[in-house]
Amino acid sequence: MSKYQSPKVNVNMSAAKGVAVAIVLLIIIGVVATASVKIVDAGHRGVLLHWNAVDLTQPPLDEGLHFVIPFQDEVVNIEVRTLKYASDARSASRDLQTVETTVTVNYHPDKEAVHRLYKNLGLDYENRVIQPAIEETVKQVTAKYNAEELITKRPLVKQDIEVAITERLNQFEVVTDVISITDFEFSPLFAQAIESKVEAEQNALRAENDLRRIEVEARQTEANAVGLANANIAEAKGEAEAIAIINRALAENPNYLDWLKTQAWDGKLPLVVGEGGTPFIQIPVKP
């Protein structure tokens, strides 16, 4: 090999170094650009971190593209759409009956407070606050009612559970949308006893309603009978008064009966006329 390299070789080496440097610069620029741009997904809010510390000085980042300081800032996506959490809670009623309750909570993190939620609870806030809130609330509420009331007063029990869970989760920046109690389960023997008692009460109420209906119908029948009797009495009185008036008229005027006949006559002569057939018409008869 020659002690001195040719100018052509030096040019090639310089070009190779320039290409290598350009590639390195492009990589650096790409890394910096990637670190400078953060995207918040649809249905999410972004929590801005400075050196892994939550920035509470500004509200959470909205959906879309955001520019941050590279290598210093990070953005954590937190979903704020309605989410569902179901939990089975075991508790005891006031009369010490074991109750299995299934509660479903539809919720979403407060869109304007997800940075505080992340700072205080992190991303695993469901297991940290929602599940304990459901279990403790169900135990507190069911202990206020006996087992029968948990069935017969279900709307009231549901309302108490909803209010208690809502108030508790609001303290942790979690907003409840709908809370559903899908089931109350007791032991088979106790459930059968409750059903039998409820059925007996319904039958008794049905019998009481039937008795009231019969009493009302009886009073209506009695009223109808009294009304009919009064009508018959009035009719009989009217006929008696009419007969008395006719008798007085006959006593005072014997021709009154003939006058009544003329009032009842339809104006047509009979085909056969006998003696007394038309007392008000005198037909001459030869001696």
Mean pLDDT, to the nearest integer, of 249-253? Answer: 63
Give CA separation, 232 vs 122, 222, 227, 243, in Å. Answer: 92, 15, 9, 16
Q: Per 3-state DSSP, what percentage of the chain is helix, strand, and coil (rounded to 5)?
A: 55, 20, 25
pLDDT of the residue at 155: 87
SS3 62: coil
Nearest to 118 by CA among 104, 129, 132: 129
pTM over 0.85, yes/no: no
pLDDT of the residue at 282: 46
Nearest to 155 by CA among 132, 179, 177, 134: 179
Give CA separation, 159 vs 132, 147, 150, 220, in Å. Answer: 19, 17, 12, 45
Euclidean distance between the first and the last CA atom of the chain, given in angstroms as a whole number: 194
pLDDT in tens, 145-158: 888 788 788 889 88
Higher pLDDT, 175 or 235: 175
Distance CA 123, CA 116 (A): 11
Give CA separation, 103 vs 41, 82, 183, 278, in Å. Answer: 30, 16, 8, 101
pLDDT in tens, 164-216: 999 999 999 999 999 888 777 776 777 677 677 767 777 787 777 877 878 77
The phi, psi pair for 97, rounded to 5°, reads -90, 135
pLDDT of the residue at 174: 94
* Single-letter code of the amino acid located at 223: A
Distance CA 107, CA 179 (A): 9
Q: At what angle do helices 131-142 and 154-170 cross, to 10 degrees?
A: 140
pLDDT of the residue at 73: 86
pLDDT of the residue at 5: 53
Say which range, 99-108, 121-130, 163-172, 225-234, has the weakest mean pLDDT: 225-234
Distance CA 92, CA 78 (A): 37
How much of the chain exceeds pLDDT 70, in percent?
74
pLDDT of the residue at 10: 61
* 110, pLDDT greater than 80: yes
Please provide the average confidence, as pLDDT, over all residues in the chain.
78
Nearest to 256 by CA among 280, 231, 278, 220: 280
pLDDT of the residue at 151: 78
* Single-letter code of the amino acid located at 52: N
DSSP class of residue 61 equals B
Higher pLDDT, 89 or 269: 89
Distance CA 185, CA 147 (A): 10
* 22, pLDDT greater than 60: yes
pLDDT of the residue at 100: 84
Mean pLDDT, to the nearest integer, of 225-242? Answer: 72
pLDDT of the residue at 1: 46
Higher pLDDT, 238 or 82: 82
| Beta strand spans in 20-82 (E) | 37-40, 44-50, 53-54, 64-67, 73-79
Say which range, 7-21, 26-40, 99-113, has the weakest mean pLDDT: 7-21
How much of the chain exceeds pLDDT 90, in percent?
24
Q: What's the token pair of residue 172? A: 């942790």
pLDDT of the residue at 107: 94
pLDDT of the residue at 60: 92
The phi, psi pair for 173, rounded to 5°, reads 65, 30
Residue 150 CB-density burial (10 A; 0-12 exposed, 13-18 middle, 19+ buried): buried
| Radius of gyration in angstroms for the set of CA atoms belonging to the chain, rounded to a whole number | 52
